[in-house]
């Protein structure tokens, strides 16, 4: 199914079948090759590789390995132990030893011309450059969030996806999860009345600019620090960056501040507002260092408030309980949802009566599966944009990036989402992009 060859595998197999009929030679072909018995024929499978498959990427890989229509064939990672572990996992799943390993993503993209698509789950600084490199090579991309480090990166990614006709999906998976989709539908269909305020869970703002002291670098084959840094500014190696869930997240050179968590919840709020293809226009600095209470106003007057103070205990008043929470308030009611809820919390039980029917109608009208990776895979086959396509990613991430700029400048800012600039604000406009280290100016 590779998109990179003028004569694709389906055409080749069709031609071979005709030639075989002419030769009339007896041939026994396994049913799985023909796609019978519920199997997916090899010519119909999406051939995929992975770049940086650890953490969240490991979760994504587990889902892909369960998809009969996917064949995962190669992994690239700067960590030797990780790429070997992924190879072992893939080979065990398929009962072979075919999964290839690469340290450098450029080699994977150049050498594996059989690929249709890639999973990108690197650190934030690599998301856009790796996606652009892959799309320019003719690959479709499922990229984990946050999928851009700046407004300029998002603009660049959108331009490349359009120019090369690629399917791009950002890992904003709650756009495909039933509870979150239902909460969004309550807001979008007027069942909450006129919306006035939405709330987005936010981790406390961190964008450190200091360096950790230098430690001896590992051997590149074991861990390639230069490739790990990629487009980020050069910093001396320190193992502390790599501990836990990613200590690098708090550093400006590697992380995305508000966007690190807002890529989950701000995106969800914009979905509820029907504003996935625009961005907020006014950003009110909260007067603190953690972004708690930062207000983003949209052109329709609805305000989105960032909540960085966690959540209350069961039975206590508050926004929600759990991670990645959102809350939507209208003139006739409210809904709140976070990870782990059996159903959304609502101001009235009546708001939950249509849970099944409303989701059924949504799926019938949109033809979207409530399964984020499957939505991407269906897009690869049909060429339909994903629900978290490059435009949705860029516009919701722009709200995140402008909120970052508001926090870094410690003052209010105004944003024009049409011109994608801060009107009359040269200081803020200079912060729409980040420098990339050579040779990663893709």
User: For the residues 294-306, what does the mean pLDDT come to?
Assistant: 97
Q: What is the mean pLDDT of residues 54-62?
A: 93
Q: Are residues 88 and 179 in the same domain?
A: no
By the 10 Å C-beta count (0-12 exposed, 13-18 middle, 19+ buried), 36 is classed as exposed
Q: Do 114 and 76 share a structural domain?
A: yes
Contact status, residue 167 vs residue 386, Cβ threshold 8 Å: yes
- Nearby residues of 200 by Cβ (< 8 Å), 6 or more positions away: 262, 265, 266, 268, 269, 304, 305, 306, 307, 326
Among 261, 289, 287, 292, CA closest to 399:
261
Residue 30 has pLDDT above 70, yes or no: no
Mean pLDDT of the chain: 90
Q: How far is Cα 172 from Cα 370, in angstroms, rounded to an integer?
A: 13
β-pair partners for 296: 283, 304
Looking at the structure, tell me whether residues 106 and 201 fall in a common domain.
no
Binned at pLDDT 50, 70 and 90, residue 86 comes out as very high
Burial class (CB in 10 A: 0-12, 13-18, 19+), 81: exposed
Nearest CA to 68 among 436, 442, 392, 377?
377
Within a domain: 342: yes
Q: How far apart are CA 223 and CA 135, in angstroms?
A: 26
On whether residue 225 sits in a domain, the answer given is yes
Please state the three-class secondary structure of 238-278 as a single string.
Answer: CHHHHCCCCHHHHECCCCCCCHHHHHHHHHHHHHHCCCCCC
Q: Tell me how many domains the chain contains.
A: 3
Tokens coding 134: 């892959």
DSSP element (H, E) containing 361: helix 355-366
Q: Which residues does residue 46 pair with via DSSP β-bridges, in sequence order?
A: 70
Looking up residue 98, the CATH number of its domain turns out to be 3.40.50.720
The answer as to whether 427 is a domain residue is yes
**Strand ranges for 266-385 from DSSP E:** 282-284, 295-297, 303-307, 326-330, 333-337, 345-346
Q: Give the separation between CA 166 and CA 379, rounded to whole angstroms.
A: 10
Instruction: At 118, list the tokens.
Output: 């890639």
Q: What does pTM read for this prediction?
A: 0.91
Residues ≥6 apart with Cβ < 8 Å to 440: 129, 230, 231
Q: Distances in Å between the alpha carbon of 371 and those of 122, 375, 380?
A: 22, 6, 15
Tens-place pLDDT, residues 191-250: 999 999 999 999 888 888 898 999 999 999 999 999 999 999 999 999 999 986 668 888
β-pairing, 70-76 vs 100-102, is parallel
The verdict on 280 and 364 lying in the same domain is: yes
Residue 442's pLDDT is 62
Crossing angle of helices 56-64 and 80-94, rounded to 10°: 20
pLDDT band at residue 259 under the 50/70/90 scheme: confident
- Assess if residue 438 is contained within a domain: no
Q: Which of 14-23, 64-73, 243-252 has the highest mean pLDDT?
A: 64-73
- Give the model's pLDDT for residue 19: 39
Co-location of 160 and 217 in the same domain? no
- Label residues 265-297 b or e (16+ Cβ within 10 Å = b): bbbbbbbbbebbebbbbbbbbbeeebbbbbbbe
Contacts of 414-422 with CB under 8 Å at 24 or more apart are: 414/281, 414/282, 414/283, 415/279, 415/280, 415/281, 415/282, 415/283, 416/281, 417/278, 417/279, 417/280, 417/281, 417/299, 420/151, 420/155
Same domain, 268 and 127: no
Residue 411's domain is classified under what CATH number? Answer: 3.30.360.10
Please give the average per-residue pLDDT across 284-305, as a whole number: 96
Do residues 193 and 217 both lie within one domain? no
How far, in Å, are 84, 253, 279 from residue 106 at the CA level?
18, 22, 33
Contact 257, 407 (CB under 8 A): yes
| Residue 249 is assigned to a structural domain of this protein | no
pLDDT of residue 171: 97
**Is residue 46 within 8 Å of 381, Cβ to Cβ?**
yes
215 and 196 within one domain: no
The pLDDT of residue 43 = 76
What pairing do the DSSP bridges indicate for beta strands 70-76 and 46-51?
parallel
Distance between CA atoms of residues 402 and 413, nearest Å: 8
| Cα 382 to Cα 46, 95, 173, 242, 367, distances in angstroms | 12, 30, 20, 39, 12
Query: Closest Cα to residue 168, out of 148, 146, 141, 144?
Result: 141
Residue 327 has pLDDT above 70, yes or no: yes
Q: Identify whether residues 140 and 160 lie together within a single domain.
A: yes
Range of the domain at 166: 9-173
Q: Identify whether residues 38 and 117 lie together within a single domain.
A: yes
Residue 339 inside a domain? The answer is yes
* Cα distance between residue 416 and residue 313, in whole Å: 39
Alpha helices in 383-442 (DSSP H): 390-409, 426-429
- 97, 180: one domain: no
The string of pLDDT tens digits covering residues 424-437 is 999 999 999 999 99
């Amino acid at each position: 199914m590779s998109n990179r060859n003028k004569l694709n595998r389906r055409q080749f197999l069709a031609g071979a079948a005709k030639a075989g009929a002419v030769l009339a030679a007896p041939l026994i072909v396994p049913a799985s090759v023909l796609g019978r018995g519920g199997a997916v024929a090899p010519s119909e499978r999406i051939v995929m590789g992975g770049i940086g498959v650890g953490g969240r990427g490991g979760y994504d890989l587990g889902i892909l390995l369960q998809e009969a229509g996917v064949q995962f064939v190669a992994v690239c990672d700067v960590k030797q132990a990780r790429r070997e572990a992924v190879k072992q996992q893939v080979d065990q799943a398929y009962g072979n030893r075919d999964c290839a390993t690469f340290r450098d993503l450029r080699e994977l993209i150049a050498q594996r011309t059989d690929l249709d698509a890639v999973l990108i789950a690197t650190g934030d600084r690599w998301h856009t450059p790796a996606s652009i490199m892959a799309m320019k090579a003719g690959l479709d991309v499922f990229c984990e969030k946050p999928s851009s480090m700046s407004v300029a990166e998002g603009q660049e990614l959108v331009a490349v996806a359009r120019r090369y006709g690629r399917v791009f999906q950002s890992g904003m998976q709650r756009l495909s999860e039933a509870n979150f989709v239902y909460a969004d539908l309550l807001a979008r269909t007027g069942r909450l009345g006129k919306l006035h305020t939405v709330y987005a869970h936010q981790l406390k703002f961190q964008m450190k600019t200091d360096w950790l002291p230098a430690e001896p670098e590992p051997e590149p084959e074991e861990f390639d620090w230069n490739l790990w840094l990629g487009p980020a500014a050069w910093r001396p190696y320190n193992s502390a960056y790599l501990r836990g869930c990613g200590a690098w997240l708090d550093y400006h050179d590697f992380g995305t501040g508000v966007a690190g968590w807002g890529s989950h919840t701000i995106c969800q709020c914009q979905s509820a507002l029907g504003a996935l293809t625009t961005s907020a226009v006014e950003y009110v600095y909260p007067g603190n260092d953690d972004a708690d209470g930062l207000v983003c106003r949209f052109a329709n007057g609805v305000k989105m408030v960032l909540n960085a103070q966690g959540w209350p205990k069961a039975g206590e008043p508050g926004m929600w309980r759990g991670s990645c929470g959102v809350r939507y308030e209208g003139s006739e009611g409210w809904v709140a949802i976070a990870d782990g809820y059996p159903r959304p919390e609502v101001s009235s039980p009546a708001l939950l009566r249509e849970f099944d029917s409303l989701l059924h109608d949504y799926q019938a009208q949109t033809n979207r599966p409530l399964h984020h990776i499957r939505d991407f895979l269906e897009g690869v086959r049909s060429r339909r944009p994903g629900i978290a396509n490059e435009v949705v990613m860029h516009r919701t991430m722009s709200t995140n990036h402008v909120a970052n700029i508001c926090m870094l400048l410690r003052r209010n800012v105004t944003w024009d989402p049409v011109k994608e600039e801060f009107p009359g604000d040269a200081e803020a406009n200079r912060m729409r992009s980040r420098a990339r280290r050579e040779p990663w100016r893709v």
